[in-house]
């Protein structure tokens, strides 16, 4: 059994209106993690979005995930109000 880590974001209420200038950088940040083989998938939660989820491969260190959050243009722009991680035991 492999334990992945899911990173959850909570967004500001009006994220859909405010994310525009930061979206290309946010998507590039995600693509860089995918390209490095650490991130499997990511996407918005809800319609309209109220949060996001990111599935990291087993073995990605919590400190790396925290660095990912701190460098994310959405976080840096104040669009992320809270974040947390949860282990996900894939069977």
Strand partners, 55: 6, 41
Query: Is 80 exceeded by the pLDDT of residue 25?
Result: yes
Q: What is the CATH number of the domain that holds 71?
A: 3.30.70.1060
The pLDDT value recorded for residue 2 is: 87
pLDDT at 91: 85
For helices 23-35 and 62-71, the axis angle rounded to 10 degrees is 150
What span, in angstroms and rounded, lies between the C-alpha atoms of 26 and 35?
A: 14
SS3 88: strand
Q: What share of the chain has pLDDT > 90, as a percent?
A: 96
10 within 8 A of 69, measured Cβ to Cβ? no
Q: How many domains does the chain have?
A: 1
| Predicted confidence (pLDDT) at residue 1 exceeds the cutoff of 80 | no
Tens digit of each residue's pLDDT (9 = 90 or more) over 41-84: 999 999 999 999 999 999 999 999 999 999 999 999 999 999 99
| Domain that includes residue 49, residue range | 2-90
CA distance 42 to 7: 9
């Amino acid at each position: 059994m492999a334990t992945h880590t899911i990173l959850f974001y909570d967004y500001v209420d009006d994220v859909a209106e405010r994310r525009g200038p930061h979206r290309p950088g946010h998507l590039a940040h995600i693509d860089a993690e995918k390209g490095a083989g650490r991130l499997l998938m990511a996407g918005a939660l809800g319609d309209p979005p109220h949060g996001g989820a990111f599935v990291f491969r087993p073995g990605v260190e919590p400190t790396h995930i925290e660095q990912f959050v701190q460098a994310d243009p959405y976080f840096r722009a104040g669009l992320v109000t809270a974040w947390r991680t949860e282990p996900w035991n894939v069977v």
